[in-house]
Amino acid sequence: MALLSILHHPDPRLRRKAALVTRFDDALRALIEDLFETMYAAPGTGLAANQVGMSMRLAVMDCSETRSQRIVMINPEIISSDERREMEEGCLSVPDIFDKVQRYNRLHLRALNEFGEPFEVCAFGLMAQCIQHEIDHLDGKLYIDYLSPLKRERIKKKLLKREAA
């Protein structure tokens, strides 16, 4: 297993829509383990493959306090959602910056696991928020895209200044 480098905004690779996963092999499962190791070390609750430069529709999550409820989402899709509410959000690709965004509090997800087997889950609260956040990454979106243009520009300048230091 290996710790991977997490890309930071405004890296253009974060804006690319990820490709569907079609091969379910040992290399994919090794990448999944690396994603979990990187996410836990960061520390975070979710990590999409394109956040580490891999353009594939794969994300991992663990919203539990005990770090014992690992979820692998491959080619995920939200099939229903309801009850929007404002939630505070942050991102490993936009480090140390948090703001409130509108997210669905409940959703129904369909995805594949690391063996290519389909599964569905009904999620609410933090888990629903994390699923939406990671799917946004796979679509080339960041949570800051839901903020005003002025806030986004301030965040970008702050991150560029931090990177230059």
Instruction: Report d(CA 92, CA 87) in Å as an integer.
Output: 17
Which two tokens mark 4? Answer: 């991977």
Which two tokens mark 12? Answer: 């253009």
| Edge-to-edge strand list for the sheet holding 46-48 | 46-48, 58-61, 71-91, 94-112, 118-124
Instruction: Report d(CA 59, CA 55) in Å as an integer.
Output: 11
Instruction: Report d(CA 98, CA 88) in Å as an integer.
Output: 7
> Catalytic one among 117, 120, 134, 163?
134
Instruction: Report d(CA 153, CA 10) in Å as an integer.
Output: 10
Residue 153 among the catalytic residues: no
Instruction: Report d(CA 32, CA 117) in Å as an integer.
Output: 15
Which residues are known to be catalytic?
A: 134
